[in-house]
Structure 1
Amino acid sequence: MKKTLFSFCMLALILMVTACGSSSEDQTSEDTQDKDSEATEDTRVIEHEMGETEITGKPEKVVALEFSFVDNLASLGVSPVGIADDDDSERIIEPIREKIGDYTSVGTRKQPSLEVISSLQPDLIIADMKRHKDIYDQLSDIAPTIILPSLAADYEGIISSFETVSKAMGMEEKGEEVLADHKAKMEELRAQVPEDEERTVLPAVVADSGYFAHNMESYTGSLLESIGLKNAIQSGDERYNKINLEQVVEFNPDVMFHMVAGDQTVVDEWESNELYQDISAVKNGEVHEVDRNMWSRFRGLISSEKILEDAINYLYEE
């Protein structure tokens, strides 16, 4: 009887230990699965011009080293903590200034301050391929960094960069909604350009140091072409070309959009020249001064819409 009772107790004890072990293993397995699932959801690998960068969670403190990335973030409803604004807050165009609020300047776009950037303790840095590829490693030591085309990008490149920024921010769905609204706006603007529009346009930065024409592959040139406004320069190795008066005469644009830099420019010297006066745009009163910050420095969804609104107002105002 005692032997039977002892055997029964031992069997019960074994079953209890086995059940506890199984429950513990099940719980450990579930915890591991939960953690794996959480990591998959929170961590993503972003492909960019310099390779791949792993980003976890939604970045809360973002530093933007080009104005187009400020435009990208503003379009997503994100306020960057730091901006390379060339030490001049007036370069932030009004429609975007209203959206982003206060920020810390991290210096110039050409040479941002690594010390200031580090002091902001960012969890994401967005930099330009042309300007910042040489300091990519230093930036990456501070925070996860993605390098995208901006300065050398055309309009389609700017759209592609926006999509990458949306993914990096963990806001891909929001980005798709914003981009859909932008494309609808672009269609509305395109519809305002007559199908038989044949005039050529030439956007250019004009300064005392020269006349810098933007061809059909530049950001502004490709943007205008996207709604049917043909650029006067349809060839060339460089998107931004310093050209002389004789070359402007040769291209003979029907409309010129001048992004004026400084109080005195080369155009002031040309105005007394008969060659300049014989250019189609000059003869027909189609030379328009536009905001250089908007038309040249900012390259993004918000600024693109504003540029085209300006262009259409100048071309088709009643």
Structure 2
Amino acid sequence: MVKMDNKGMKKGIVIIATLTIVLSAIAFSSVPVGAGTLTITDDFGRTVTIHGVPERIISLSPTNTEILFAIGAGDRVVGVTEYCNYPEEAKEREKIGGVTTVSIEKVVSLQPDLVLGDELNGKETFERLEELGITIVGLNPENISEILDDIMLVGRITGEEKNASSLVKAMNRRIEEIKNKTSDVKRPKVAHITWHDPIWVAGSGTVQDEMIEIAGGENAFSDIKDWGTVSLEKFIDRNPEVIIVSVGHGVAEMAPYEYILNEERLKVVDAVKNERVYTINADIASRAGPRIVDATETVHGYLSEFRTPMPSATPETSGFEAVLAIIVLLAVVYLSGRTNRF
């Protein structure tokens, strides 16, 4: 029999205890091997693998920043663009440049384990960050359904899936409420413009086109694909009944709105004649994030006076009753006359 001194016995006990703890952790862990790795396909068709839950996140667009804060991941955001102004806390984060002028050096210095990119960042930005071994996921939703999908995607890759799901459900509920109110209404022709020189309008396939449809309107420029410019003559010819103007582009933020109101040649347009030219905050109307529902509700409010049921083919009950009352009255008068003759 091999004898062990007290020192050897103590060492053996420590080793056994350590092994027991490790084996117990493996045996009873609910996390399977590889569960910390998530592989997804981003909006550009890129396959991206995320290792673990990101703790240092950089957003390369205002939209992405709003999504991160809305789902509860804002405390892990370490860098944003110069244009990320919502929510207020976002302004306190380190700036990595503009959306189209991302500073790669600044991004690297912040040591992110996840970067959320945007189409406007440019292909070169994506490729450079990939070369440096930085995980970057690209978001580029083209309609409201894809916005909701992207919110869920960001929730998955940041470990905030529950919050993302709650947010998406709330957004869907608000959208459905608007749709229920506009299912049977007179739809005015609506033009959504973002600039005036030249006139820049939202066409089909844009989030703004979908907003108009949900809010109870008809896009006056649905024949234009995506965004496009139109001549003043063409704008007048379309004669929109409502004009929505995005404002908030810096020093000239009200210029498009003032142009529509003051351009003498536009006085013949129904929207101008009837004072139905409205402004909308460019941030909520153009950012494909959680506040797009706020924008849709705003447009819906502007179209409220058009929310009357379509004319029915059958007579209204009140009108029918009035006609019936007149017939009865005439009958009474006629019978009274006949009675007086006898």
Q: TM-score, normalised by structure 2?
A: 0.72
Shift of 1:50: 4.5
- Which residue type is aligned with residue 283 of structure 1? K
- Structure 2: how far apart are the matches of 1:74 and 1:38? 29
Aligned to 1:180: 169
Aligned to 1:164: 153
Q: Deviations over 1:50-83 (max 9, x none)?
A: 4211112221221111222112112201212211
Q: Sort the Cα spacing of 1:267 and 1:294 in 2 relative to 1 into closer, same or farther, 3 A.
A: closer
Q: Sort the Cα spacing of 1:167 and 1:253 in 2 relative to 1 into closer, same or farther, 3 A.
A: same
1:135 aligns with 2:125: yes
State whether residues 63 and 124 of structure 1, in contact with CA within 8 Å, keep that contact through their aligned partners in structure 2: yes
Aligned to 1:144: 135
State whether residues 224 and 308 of structure 1, in contact with CA within 8 Å, keep that contact through their aligned partners in structure 2: yes
Q: Sort the Cα spacing of 1:224 and 1:268 in 2 relative to 1 into closer, same or farther, 3 A.
A: closer
State whether residues 62 and 123 of structure 1, in contact with CA within 8 Å, keep that contact through their aligned partners in structure 2: yes
Shift of 1:110: 0.9
- Structure 1: how far apart are the matches of 2:114 and 2:28? 26
**Which moved further from structure 2: 118-127 or 130-139?**
130-139
- Structure 2: how far apart are the matches of 1:181 and 1:105? 31
Alpha-carbon RMSD across the aligned residues, in angstroms, is 3.3
1:66 aligns with 2:61: yes
1:230 aligns with 2:218: yes
> Which structure has the larger Rg?
2
Shift of 1:173: 3.1
Shift of 1:213: 0.3
Aligned to 1:43: 37
Local SS of the residue matching 1:202: strand
Provide the aligned length of Structure 1 versus Structure 2. Answer: 285
Identify the structure with bigger relative contact order (alpha carbons < 8 Å, sequence gap 6+). 1
Aligned to 2:209: 221
1:315 aligns with 2:303: yes
Shift of 1:272: 5.6
Aligned to 1:125: 115
- Which residue type is aligned with residue 69 of structure 1? N
- Structure 2: how far apart are the matches of 1:112 and 1:160? 26
Q: Deviations over 1:207-235 (max 9, x none)?
A: 5x422101132122212323432211122
Shift of 1:249: 1.5
Q: Sort the Cα spacing of 1:183 and 1:271 in 2 relative to 1 into closer, same or farther, 3 A.
A: closer
- Structure 1: how far apart are the matches of 2:72 and 2:127? 28
Aligned to 1:256: 243
Aligned with residue 81 of structure 1, among 67, 78, 82: 78
- Which residue type is aligned with residue 45 of structure 1? T
1:206 aligns with 2:195: yes
State whether residues 71 and 299 of structure 1, in contact with CA within 8 Å, keep that contact through their aligned partners in structure 2: no
- Which residue type is aligned with residue 123 of structure 2? K
Unpaired segments ≥5 residues, structure 1: 1-8, 10-24
Aligned to 2:282: 292
Shift of 1:264: 7.0
Local SS of the residue matching 2:303: helix
Shift of 1:271: 5.1
Q: Sort the Cα spacing of 1:72 and 1:268 in 2 relative to 1 into closer, same or farther, 3 A.
A: closer
Shift of 1:286: 0.7
State whether residues 200 and 253 of structure 1, in contact with CA within 8 Å, keep that contact through their aligned partners in structure 2: yes
**Which moved further from structure 2: 119-128 or 30-39?**
30-39
- Which residue type is aligned with residue 251 of structure 1? R
State whether residues 139 and 145 of structure 1, in contact with CA within 8 Å, keep that contact through their aligned partners in structure 2: yes
